[in-house]
């Protein structure tokens, strides 16, 4: 099981990391200090489980869990010093709720519950895009795509480390894959990549995307829909 630790206290993260090393079949794929960092790490680490603190600066654990609700992966287990949040945590679909200081026996119970959930649900299907490399057809997973840009006569899929030419137009891709959202007339991104917006001093708005420093511009026409999407999580 791939686990991402999310807690704003370095000592708490270190303790959870040490406890997880005492558990069988667990791989700690990352350790971050806030909700936004966790969102950015999801595409790179592909965790099965988030061990998630609730009270954190910026995007707290409850807000992050709300954005991830109804997804098979990652599952969420809250780790907090406060019992008061327990009811809300389960309303958000958390697999379990651990009180700090976490005991290894209780952690193992939570991991068992997560495994049962994951085994009961198949992985979400992955969409595939059709591209060309040196003229030869290949397919790439939609999960790997950072953004799709229309450049002259072509659509270019940008991934971490490379770019590939696609056979379809942006309009065709938008109609085929509901997960793609439009930032402006020449740019689509997977919805899960969008983690925020940034307004510049000149009034332009840029999209903040998980897994990259690239921030494409958002058109005024598409801005209301993107703000609504972010509010809804």
What's the whole-number mean pLDDT along residues 113-126?
Answer: 76
CATH assignment of the domain containing 202: 2.40.50.1020
Does 150 share its domain with 105?
Answer: no
Does 112 share its domain with 13?
Answer: yes
pLDDT at 141: 85
Does 153 share its domain with 174?
Answer: yes
Distance in angstroms (rounded) separating the CA atoms of residues 174 and 200: 27
CATH assignment of the domain containing 77: 3.40.50.2300
Picking from 120, 137, 157, the residue at the C-terminal end of a domain is 120
Distance in angstroms (rounded) separating the CA atoms of residues 190 and 196: 13
> pLDDT tier at 112 (50, 70, 90 boundaries)?
very high
Picking from 85, 120, 155, the residue at the C-terminal end of a domain is 120
Does 94 share its domain with 180?
Answer: no
pLDDT at 89: 64
Residues 80/105, Cβ–Cβ less than 8 Å:
no
Residues 70/93, Cβ–Cβ less than 8 Å:
yes
Q: What is the DSSP string of 50-73?
A: EEE-SS-SSS-HHHHHHHHTT-SS
Q: Given a cut of 90, is residue 40 above it in pLDDT? A: no
Helix count and strand count (H, E) for the chain: 7, 15
pLDDT at 45: 83
How many domains is the chain partitioned into structurally? 2
Q: What residues make up the domain containing 29?
A: 2-120
Q: Which residues contact 102 (CB under 8 A, 6 or more apart)?
A: 15, 16, 19, 79
Picking from 61, 86, 120, the residue at the C-terminal end of a domain is 120
Does 221 share its domain with 137?
Answer: yes
pLDDT at 96: 92
According to DSSP, the residues that pair with 213 across neighbouring strands are none
Q: What is the pLDDT of residues 175-188, one digit of tens each?
A: 888 889 999 999 99
CA 230 → CA 24, 80, 221, distances in Å? 37, 26, 16
Q: What is the pLDDT of residues 157-177, one digit of tens each?
A: 998 878 899 978 899 898 888
Q: Percent of the chain having pLDDT more than 90?
A: 48
pLDDT at 119: 85
Closest C-alpha to 104, from 51, 55, 56, 61:
51
- Range of weakest confidence among 9-23, 91-105, 116-130, 214-228: 116-130
């Amino acid at each position: 099981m791939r686990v991402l630790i999310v807690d704003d206290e370095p000592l708490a993260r270190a303790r959870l990391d040490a406890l997880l090393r005492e558990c069988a079949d667990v791989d700690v794929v990352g350790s971050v200090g806030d909700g936004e960092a966790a969102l950015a790490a999801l595409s790179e680490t592909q965790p099965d489980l988030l061990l998630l603190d609730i009270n954190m600066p910026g995007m707290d654990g409850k807000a992050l869990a709300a954005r991830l609700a109804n997804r098979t992966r990652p599952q969420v287990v809250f780790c907090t010093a406060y019992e008061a949040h327990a009811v809300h945590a389960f309303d958000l679909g958390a697999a379990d709720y651990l009180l700090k200081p976490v005991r290894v026996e209780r952690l193992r119970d939570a991991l068992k519950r997560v495994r049962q959930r994951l085994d009961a649900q198949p992985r979400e299907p992955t969409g595939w895009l059709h591209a060309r490399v040196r003229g030869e057809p290949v397919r790439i997973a939609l999960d790997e795509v950072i953004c799709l840009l229309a450049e002259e006569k072509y659509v270019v899929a940008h991934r971490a480390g490379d770019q590939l030419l696609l056979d379809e137009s942006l309009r065709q891709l938008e109609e085929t894959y509901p997960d793609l959202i439009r930032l402006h007339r020449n740019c689509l991104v997977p919805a899960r990549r969008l983690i925020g917006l940034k307004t510049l001093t000149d009034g332009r708005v840029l999209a903040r995307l998980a897994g990259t420093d690239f921030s494409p511009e958002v058109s005024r026409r598409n801005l209301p829909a993107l703000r609504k999407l972010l509010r809804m999580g």
